[in-house]
Structure formats: C-alpha cells, structure tokens
C-alpha cells in the first residue's frame, strides 16, 4: 500500500475547518445503511465511538486467535465447516478456524509492519498477543494516520469472522434497559452465549455497537448511575440462569443462596425469577 502526501503551502485563511467525517468501521456501516457518519475528532481520522470500538476489537483478537487454535483439530467442540480428510490423528480439521486465525495474524502483522516502518521502531514479538500490545501502544498515532479507517475496518472484520467460528450458535437475548452512555438514547440487550459451565454474557447497545460491556462491567456501570438518570423499572427480576451467567457462579450455588438468604421470588409461566436487590445483597461483591 502506497500513501501520498499533499504539498503544503502557506495560507492566510483563519477559518476553523469543520471536522472531517469519520472513516471507521461503525461509521462505514452507518453510511451503508443510509445514515451520516459521525465527525472525526480533531486531529484524528475516527470519531470517539469508532476509536473505542477499534481499541476493544484489538484487545479481543489475541483471545479469538487462541480460541480458533483450540478448534483446529476439532478436539474442542468442532464447529463450522471442517475438511473431509482429517489430520494425522484422525480428527477433522476445522478449515474455518484456520482461516480466521490466519486472517487475524496476517492483519496484525501488516499493521505492525506499517508502524515499524513509519515510526522507525523495533519490531514486536511475532505473536498475536505481542503484535496487539505493540499496536495498542501506538494506537494514538494510528488513529491519526490516513489509513486509520482501513485499520478499523480490517480489525472489525477479523473479530466478526472469528466470532462466527468460535460461537456460531444462536444467543438468547434479553433487554436490560437504556444505554448507560450519557446522551446515547439506545437500548441495551444482554446476549447470553450457551455452552460450558459458566455461559458468557455480553451487553450491547442497539444504536452504537461500540457501546458493549461484559455482564459484570454492565452491572457495575448500572449500579453506579444516579437514580435520576434511570428510566428502567426500579425492580428487576432475574432467572437462576441469568444470575449464574452474570456473576460467574454455578446454577446450583444460585439456588443455595436463594434458599439460605430467602431471596424474594416470583413465578411467571412456570419459571422462577429472583429479586435483583436480594441477589446483590448476597453476591454483589463478586460482581
């Protein structure tokens, strides 16, 4: 990729230029849907939302890389398409996991090389985690680079592709209230990923995909918001499965705490729900 630089000339214009439109992954998606992109931060190529998403996506890549590696031979819940020939051990080879993993490392290497070349610094350790840490250290410079939009888009595509490999199953989604980011106006939905002893949960905004948190991060944010800013009901009821996912505990422990602490409960269509305040009184320190 070759980058050109415009020749600078003297000017006497004193008018402050309007911020350029953001070229980040989320704003590209907004434009594709007929909505205007957000203005980029002065001195940057990205808006605050796309910059936040880029940082979050970069931090997710090493974990996704490792999870795809665990799926390569099908030893850990083979998913998505696999090759028919198998491996020397007789296990199927997960082609989708290999391609996603290769895409992550290739993307990280290409952007790491850009930083090394243009910043004239030493190369990072050649691993997904090592290159990611390196890019995060130079993230302030990268979001000002004229190719910041391409970086944002490529990293987002790597996350989506690897995410479909490691978690192809549909998620149960539960609306949990309004977005905790001031002036956002979006609604938050908790997506619960099934599988394993402790299902993972992610809370995301339906307006700005950059506004995402783990279940425990959202609990802390929501618990710390001023009461005047809350529009969701004062009382929230949670199922045992929701509690186990949010607090990272086994369902059996949930029922034990509910019995010992005499949590308030209600039954709807045969399903038992527990009062969130009682849950917090028993398990709040864990979240």
**Tens of pLDDT, residue by residue, the chain (287 residues):** 444 333 334 444 444 444 588 988 888 888 888 888 889 888 888 999 899 999 999 999 999 999 888 888 654 444 444 444 444 444 456 788 899 999 999 999 999 999 999 999 999 999 999 999 999 999 999 999 988 989 999 999 999 899 888 876 555 667 777 777 777 777 777 776 554 444 566 777 777 666 777 766 666 666 555 444 444 444 577 787 778 777 777 767 777 788 888 888 877 666 787 888 788 888 864 44
H and E: helices and strands count for the chain:
10, 7
User: CA 262 to CA 247: how far, in whole Å?
Assistant: 18
User: CA 111 to CA 130: how far, in whole Å?
Assistant: 13
pLDDT computed for residue 232 by the predictor = 43
User: CA 253 to CA 237: how far, in whole Å?
Assistant: 18
Q: 149 near 155, Cβ under 8 Å?
A: no
Model-level pTM greater than 0.75?
no
CA distances from 78 to 64, 90, 95, 159, 168 (A): 15, 13, 10, 19, 11
Helices (H), 202-285: 215-223, 240-247, 251-261, 276-283
């Amino acid at each position: 990729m070759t980058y050109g630089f415009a020749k600078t000339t003297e000017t006497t214009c004193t008018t402050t230029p309007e911020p350029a439109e953001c070229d980040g992954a989320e704003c590209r998606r907004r434009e594709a849907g007929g909505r205007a992109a957000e203005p980029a931060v002065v001195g940057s190529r990205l808006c605050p939302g796309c910059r936040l998403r880029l940082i979050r996506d970069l931090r997710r890549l090493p974990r996704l890389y490792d999870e795809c590696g665990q799926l390569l031979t099908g030893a850990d819940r083979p998913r998505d398409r696999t090759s028919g020939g198998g491996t020397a051990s007789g296990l199927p080879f997960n082609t989708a996991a290999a391609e996603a993993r290769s895409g992550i490392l290739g993307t990280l290497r290409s952007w790491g090389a850009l930083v090394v070349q243009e910043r004239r610094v030493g190369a990072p350790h050649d691993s997904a985690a090592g290159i990611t840490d390196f890019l995060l250290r130079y993230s302030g410079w990268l979001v000002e680079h004229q190719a910041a939009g391409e970086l944002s888009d490529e990293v987002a595509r790597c996350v989506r592709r690897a995410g479909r490999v490691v978690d192809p199953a549909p998620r149960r989604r539960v609306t949990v209230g309004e977005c905790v980011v001031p002036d956002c106006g979006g609604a938050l939905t908790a997506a619960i990923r099934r599988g394993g002893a402790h299902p993972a949960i992610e809370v995301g905004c339906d307006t700005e995909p950059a506004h995402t948190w783990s279940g425990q991060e959202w609990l802390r944010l929501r618990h710390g918001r001023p009461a005047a800013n809350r529009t969701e009901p004062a009382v929230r009821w949670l199922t045992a499965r929701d509690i186990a996912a949010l607090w990272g505990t086994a369902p059996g422990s949930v029922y034990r705490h509910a019995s010992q602490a005499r949590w308030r409960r209600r039954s709807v269509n045969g399903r038992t729900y527990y009062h969130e305040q009682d849950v917090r009184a028993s398990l709040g320190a864990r979240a």
